[in-house]
């Protein structure tokens, strides 16, 4: 014999009802079955909400009631095809609905809703649904659960009277019908004969009680997910089904909020060693989960994660507690006597403070009870009044394998720390099957994700990208990510998810990922963007493994790095402003990244995609010292000097650099040497010498006055320089030399200058917009190390940014 329980979503729609019919009728061909059903999905909530409306005198209760009538009627009309059956069912259902209407009407008229009335009202959900299902399944026998599921009052709560219930169940199910149909959740008080229930989610419990009393072969919980999963799939998209769980593991997970099974359900079947199967009504062929005594070792240290939001932590503390025997006894007795359950306890070994976790709903009462209990100690000052902290969530990681695996707590707390999540309290029992800890509610989702990622998803690593700037570099980066996505998923087990895209005007944020295919259209209708809104939006999203990617040249955007790094978000930037700003700022950014365990990467600030900064770092890390740098770092200036000829004037060459995307958006930044100064400052700093932009000596080739006015004026005046340049160019040509704008660093001293180099010089043959860097170090002294290649251009810059992102993924 089997007991099959179908939850709200399994009786909530026509489709699910037809799946249920198929499953039950198939099973009944093999053996007798008892079917337990919940109310139609959402009806229990609606029954409760409607009674609150009636209580408040809100006429709206009628509309809500009519909606419920309509929903049940429509269901019957669609699924019960036999006319006689339908007539009979309508009769039963309508008389139940009539009683329900009278109850609401009474509540509305006298504005009173006793617990008794509320329990009666809420029972109609299962009473209605069970009649519908009993008619749907041919030959099913409907039984009223209230006849055999009995409760009594204890600590002001309805508690199952197990002994009586067991006896009655045995009587009622002898002989055992082929198909019995039982409403879940509802019960009856044995003394008052009032309708009661087993608590929200209690249909699972009804089914377990029947399975245990009748020694069922198995208890099957049919629901809307593929089984018991590693975490709530509604929060963790990558959660997957656990094939096997032990009773202990299941109990730990359910007690901590895994809603898929109502916690009291497990005990009655566990003591009888009856397995529980959790299966998806919509995919009956799926493997589902089996919960039983002994399970195969899956070699994973933990089996599941669950959580409860709405947690309050009450701290009992005071000087008199040190070594005093009996304080804990008093805490727990006082709380238990008042029916308050504690789900987490953490006591410091100094014994002068005990923190206990309770549900928010119990918090005020718990504080009151404890303040009363310790009133004397508080009045003498030996203990402090109770301190309650709300707005928290409790998370548990569970698995019997934890006891054989050292380092789980280390991994757990290390992972949380790196994500900037602080743990407010924690507890691990000596059984080592559960580690529970409390975090701020705002961190719940992120904490679940990082833990899930680090314990279950070694198969895939996810990186969440916020891309700021969708000009040429940003646009190409998104394109490159799009093209590489599948390959990286396959070969590197990496998923690069773009969760934010911002232009100077608009921003799109979506934790589920933005389709790189049509982000441009979406962006046009997105929210207006300011740096402040962007910072707040990103920090509030609070996603794990986040990377902010700056493809702008904006100072305001670079000002976001510090607050983002402070919130454990890595930064990858093509924007040079931050790394070349005040030395103190640059050091602070690097330090923050280091202490927060995230990355601040800016390889493309110098030489676009060329590995210059990375090489300097590698040399330094391996014990070398950078003594000198000589470099041509401006692809733009190099392009301009290479373009100039008898036919192409200086101003024309500048224009071409801009048109072909080699210059900064404002070319004055290149011509004033500012761009090269910034790059040189960055390389010098990375080589280990503190330097500011003002420390760089400069010998420039465009007079300062040209940089004073507007860009338009600059373009207008630029041709004035052509004649002079042409004169000098001719001389240079005669001497067989070329101009190169060179950046130099010698033991920390820096200079940028226009140099004429002859054929023998390594800079002479530098084509187009190429860059070259010569690094003289302790090891590369006689022959400097040379790095050369394209030093500008959106494609190579985007690729360099991409490489930086990948270096974060690979840690
Ligand atoms: P039913 O109406 O069938 O009783 P419930 O809504 O009570 O269904 O429980 C199923 C829901 O439990 C799922 O839809 C899922 O969102 C949630 N859930 C929470 N934790 C887990 C978990 N670890 N595995 C599966 N589902 C979970
Ligand atoms: N219908 C009840 C509830 O929603 C019982 C259950 O579904 O298990 O809580
Ligand atoms: Mg449920």
CATH at residue 682: 3.30.360.10
Do 155 and 17 fall within a single domain? Answer: yes
Domain end position, chosen among 456, 490, 517: 456
Region 627-650: mean pLDDT is: 93
Ligand lying closest to the C-alpha of residue 225: 1
Which ligand gives the minimal distance to the CA of 9? 1
Q: For 56-90, what is each residue's pLDDT tens digit?
A: 999 999 999 999 999 999 999 999 999 999 999 99
Judgement on whether residues 406 and 551 belong to the same structural domain of the protein:
no
Percent of the chain with pLDDT over 70: 98
Backbone angles phi, psi at 667, to 5 degrees: -65, -15
What does the radius of gyration of the chain's CA atoms come to, in whole angstroms? 36
Q: What is the pLDDT of residues 259-299, one digit of tens each?
A: 999 999 999 999 999 999 999 999 999 999 999 998 887 77
Closest CA to 224 of 19, 397, 45: 19
- Whether residues 437 and 538 share a domain: the answer is no
Task: Identify which of 42, 182, 185, 221 to mutate to test ligand 2's pocket (most ligand atoms within 8 A of the CB).
Answer: 185
pLDDT over 70 at 349, yes or no = no
CA of 36 to the centre of ligand 3 (A): 12
Angle at 308 between CA 306 and CA 314, to 5 degrees: 130
pLDDT at position 419: 87
Residues 6+ apart with CB under 8 A from 797: 473, 476, 574, 604, 608, 609
In a domain, 797, yes or no: no
End-to-end C-alpha distance for the chain, whole angstroms: 53
Dump pLDDT digits (tens) for 666-714: 889 899 999 999 999 999 999 999 999 999 999 988 998 998 889 999 9
Q: Are residues 440 and 473 in the same domain?
A: no
CATH number at residue 522: 3.40.50.720
712 lies in some domain: yes
200 CB under 6 A from ligand 1?
no
DSSP-assigned letter for residue 133: H
Ligand in closest contact with the CA of 130: 2
> Are 37 and 147 in a shared domain?
yes
- Cβ 62 vs Cβ 109: under 8 Å: no
Q: Confidence band (pLDDT; 50, 70, 90) for 406?
A: confident
State pLDDT tens for residues 758-781. Answer: 999 999 999 888 899 999 999 999
Nearest Cα residue to atom 8 of ligand 2: 201
Angle of the 408-418 helix axis to the 444-456 helix axis, nearest 10: 130
Residue 239 included in any domain:
no
Could you identify the atom of ligand 1 that is nearest to the CA of residue 304? Answer: 23
Among candidates 599, 349, 262, 308, which has minimal Cα distance to 436?
308
CATH for 70: 3.40.1160.10
- Tell me the CATH number at 318: 3.30.2130.10
Nearest CA to 306 among 383, 388, 249, 386?
Answer: 249
Q: From the CB of 256, is ligand 1 less than 6 Å away? A: no
Let me know if residue 666 belongs to a domain: yes
Separation CA 615–CA 610 (nearest Å):
9
Distance (angstroms) between ligand 2 centre and the Cα of 180 equals 19
Please tell me whether residues 633 and 587 are part of one structural domain: no
Question: Does ligand 1 come within 6 angstroms of the Cβ of 261?
Answer: no
Q: Which residue's C-alpha comes closest to atom 11 of ligand 1?
A: 260
Ligand in nearest proximity to the CA of 39: 2
Residue at 269 is within a domain? no
Q: Output helix, strand, coil percentages for the chain, rounded to the nearest 5.
A: 45, 20, 30
Statement: residue 438 has pLDDT above 60:
yes
| Gap from CA of 447 to ligand 1 centroid (Å) | 19
Confidence at residue 323, expressed as pLDDT on a 0 to 100 scale: 55
Query: Is there an atom of ligand 1 within 6 Å of 237 CB?
Result: no
C-beta 206 within 6 A of ligand 2: no
Is pLDDT of 237 > 90? no
Regarding the beta carbon of 263 and ligand 1, being less than 6 Å apart is answered no
Domain region containing 527: 461-605
Which residue(s) pair with 629 in the sheet? 745, 775
Within 10 angstroms of residue 279's Cβ, the number of other Cβ atoms is 23
Catalytic residues: 679
Other C-beta atoms closer than 10 Å to the C-beta of 56 total 13
Name the band, by pLDDT with cuts 50, 70 and 90, for residue 328.
Answer: confident
| Per-residue pLDDT, 791 | 83
Q: Quick one: which of 664, 678, 653, 754 has its CA closest to 711?
A: 664
Residue nearest to atom 18 of ligand 1 (CA): 232
Please name the residue ranges forming H helices in 695-752. 711-717, 722-734
Domain presence at residue 127: yes
DSSP state of 229: B
Residue 652 domain-assigned (yes or no): yes
Position 423 in a domain:
yes
Is the CB–ligand 2 distance for residue 607 below 6 Å?
no
Is 750 found in the same domain as 601? no
Mean pLDDT value across residues 592-608: 94
Q: What is the pLDDT of residues 21-46, one digit of tens each?
A: 999 999 999 999 999 999 999 999 99
**In terms of Cα–Cα distance, which of 776, 794, 792 is closest to 784?**
776
Q: For the purposes of burial, counting CB atoms within 10 Å of the CB of 617, is it exposed (0-12), middle (13-18) or buried (19 or more)?
A: middle
- Whether 234 is in the pocket of ligand 1, judged by its Cβ within 6 Å, is yes
| SS3 at position 529 | coil
**Pocket flag, ligand 1, residue 424 (CB < 6 Å):** no
Q: Which of 224, 241, 272 is the last residue of a domain?
A: 224
Residue 60 alpha carbon to ligand 3 centre in Å: 28
Q: CA 96, CA 151: separation in Å to the nearest integer? A: 23
Give the pair of three-digit tokens for residue 493.
């087990």
> pLDDT tens, 182-216?
999 999 999 999 999 999 999 999 999 999 999 99
pLDDT of 240 strictly over 70? yes
For the segment 449-495, what is each residue's pLDDT rounded down to a tens digit? Answer: 889 888 886 566 789 999 999 999 999 999 999 999 999 888 888 88
State the pTM of this model. 0.71
Residue to mutate (ligand 1; options 35, 231, 232; most atoms within 8 A of CB): 232
Q: Is ligand 2 within 6 A of the CB of residue 8?
A: yes
Higher pLDDT, 556 or 636: 556
Q: Which atom of ligand 2 is nearest to the CA of 201?
A: 8
Both 429 and 466 in one domain: the answer is no
Same domain, 633 and 601: no
CA of 368 to the centre of ligand 3 (A): 32
Q: Which of 579, 605, 631 is the last residue of a domain?
A: 605
Which residues are in the CB-under-5-Å shell of ion ligand 3? 7, 201
Residue 682: both structure tokens together: 């960055």
Determine the distance separating the centroid of ligand 3 and the alpha carbon of 8, expressed in angstroms: 7
Same domain, yes or no: 655 and 713: yes
Write out the E strands in 140-296.
141-142, 150-154, 157-160, 179-183, 186-189, 195-197, 218-223, 244-246, 276-280, 289-292
Candidate of 203, 254, 259 to mutate for ligand 2, largest count of ligand atoms within 8 Å of Cβ: 203
202 lines ligand 2 (CB under 6 A): yes
Q: Is the CB of 125 under 6 A from ligand 2?
A: yes
Indicate if ligand 1 lies below 6 Å from the C-beta of 201: yes
Question: What pLDDT does 448 receive?
Answer: 92
Residues 352 and 376 in one domain: yes
Q: How far is the CA of 598 from the centre of ligand 1 (A)?
A: 34
Q: Which of 48, 53, 46 is nearest to 67 (CA)?
A: 46
Half-sphere exposure of 597 (CA within 13 A, CB side): 11
Domain count, the chain: 4
Residue 712 has which token pair?
A: 């338009």
Rounded distance from Cα 183 to ligand 2 centre (Å):
10
Q: 9, 129, 185, 223: which to mutate for ligand 1, most atoms within 8 A of CB?
A: 223
Q: What is the mean pLDDT of the chain?
A: 93
Kindly identify the ligand whose nearest atom is closest to the C-alpha of 46.
2
* Residue nearest (by alpha carbon) to ligand 2 atom 6: 201
Query: 397 and 359 in one domain?
Result: yes
């Amino acid at each position: 014999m089997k007991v099959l329980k179908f939850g709200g979503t399994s009786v909530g729609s026509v489709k699910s009802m037809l799946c249920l019919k198929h499953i039950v009728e198939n099973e009944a061909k093999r053996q007798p079955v008892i079917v337990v059903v919940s109310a139609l999905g959402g009806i229990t909530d609606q029954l409760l909400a409607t009674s609150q409306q009636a209580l408040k005198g809100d006429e709206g209760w009628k509309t809500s009631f009519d909606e419920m009538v309509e929903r049940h009627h429509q269901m019957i009309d669609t699924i019960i095809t036999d006319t006689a059956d339908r007539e009979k069912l309508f009769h039963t259902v309508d008389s139940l609905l009539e009683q329900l209407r009278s109850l609401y009407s009474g509540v509305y008229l006298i504005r009173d809703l006793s617990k008794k009335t509320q329990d009666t009202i809420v029972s109609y959900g299962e009473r209605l649904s069970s009649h519908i299902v009993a008619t749907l399944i041919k030959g099913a026998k409907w039984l009223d659960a209230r006849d055999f599921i009995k409760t009594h009052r204890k600590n002001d709560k309805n508690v199952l009277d197990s002994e009586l219930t067991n006896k009655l169940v045995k009587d009622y199910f002898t002989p055992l019908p082929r198909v019995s149909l039982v409403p879940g959740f509802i019960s009856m008080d044995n003394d008052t004969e009032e309708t009661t229930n087993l608590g929200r989610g209690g249909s699972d419990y009804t089914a377990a009680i029947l399975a245990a009393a009748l020694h069922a072969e198995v208890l099957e919980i049919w629901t809307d997910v593929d089984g018991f999963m590693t975490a709530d799939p509604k929060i963790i998209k990558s959660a997957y089904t656990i094939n096997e769980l032990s009773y202990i593991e299941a109990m730990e997970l359910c007690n901590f909020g895994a809603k898929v099974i109502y916690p009291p359900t497990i005990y009655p079947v566990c003591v009888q060693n009856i397995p529980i199967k959790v299966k998806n009504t919509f995919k009956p062929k799926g493997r589902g989960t089996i919960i039983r005594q002994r399970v195969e070792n899956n070699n994973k240290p933990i089996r599941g994660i669950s959580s409860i939001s709405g947690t309050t932590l009450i701290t009992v503390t005071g000087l008199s507690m040190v070594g005093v025997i009996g304080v804990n006894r008093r805490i727990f007795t006082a709380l238990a006597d008042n029916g308050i359950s504690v789900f987490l306890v953490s006591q410091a070994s100094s014994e002068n403070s005990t923190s206990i976790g309770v549900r928010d709903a119990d918090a005020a009462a718990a504080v009151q009870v404890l303040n009363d209990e310790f009133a004397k100690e508080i009045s003498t000052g030996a203990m402090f009044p109770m301190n309650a902290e709300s707005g928290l969530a409790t998370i548990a990681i569970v698995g019997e394998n934890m006891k054989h695996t050292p380092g789980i707590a280390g991994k757990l707390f290390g992972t949380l720390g790196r994500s900037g999540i602080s743990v407010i309290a924690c507890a691990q029992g000596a059984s080592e099957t559960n580690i529970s800890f409390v975090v701020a509610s705002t961190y719940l989702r992120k904490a679940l994700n990082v833990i899930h990622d680090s314990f279950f998803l070694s198969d895939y690593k996810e990186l969440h990208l916020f891309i700021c700037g969708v000009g040429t570099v940003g646009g190409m980066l998104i394109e490159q990510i799009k093209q590489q996505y599948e390959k990286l998923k396959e070969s590197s087990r990496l998923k690069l998810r773009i969760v934010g895209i911002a232009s100077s005007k608009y921003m799109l944020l979506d934790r589920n990922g933005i389709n790189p295919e049509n982000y441009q259209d979406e962006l046009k209708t997105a929210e207006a963007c300011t740096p402040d809104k962007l910072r707040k939006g990103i920090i509030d999203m609070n996603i794990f493994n986040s990377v902010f990617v700056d493809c702008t040249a904006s100072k305001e955007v670079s000002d976001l790095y510090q607050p983002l790094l402070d919130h454990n978000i890595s930064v990858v930037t093509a924007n040079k402003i931050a790394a070349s700003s005040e030395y103190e700022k640059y050091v602070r950014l690097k330090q923050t990244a280091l202490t927060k365990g995230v990355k601040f990467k800016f390889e493309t600030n110098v030489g676009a995609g060329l590995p210059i900064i990375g090489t300097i770092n590698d040399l330094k890390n391996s014990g070398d010292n950078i003594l000198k740098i000589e470099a041509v770092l401006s692809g733009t200036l190099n392009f301009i000097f290479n373009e100039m000829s008898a036919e192409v004037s200086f101003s024309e060459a500048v224009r071409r650099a801009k048109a072909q995307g080699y210059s900064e958006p404002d070319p004055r930044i290149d011509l004033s040497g500012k761009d090269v100064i910034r790059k040189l400052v960055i390389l010098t700093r990375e080589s280990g010498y503190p330097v500011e932009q003002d420390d760089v000596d400069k010998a420039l080739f465009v007079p300062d006055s040209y940089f004073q006015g507007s860009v338009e004026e600059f373009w207008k005046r630029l041709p004035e320089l052509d004649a002079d340049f042409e004169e000098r160019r001719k001389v240079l040509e005669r001497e067989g030399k070329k101009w190169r704008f060179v950046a130099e660093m010698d033991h920390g001293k820096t200079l940028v200058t226009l140099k004429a180099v002859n054929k023998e010089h390594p800079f002479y043959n530098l084509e187009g917009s190429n860059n070259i860097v010569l690094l003289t170090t302790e090891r590369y002294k006689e022959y400097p190390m040379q790095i050369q290649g394209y030093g500008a251009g959106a494609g190579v810059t985007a690729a360099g940014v991409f490489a930086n992102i990948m270096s974060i993924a690979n840690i």
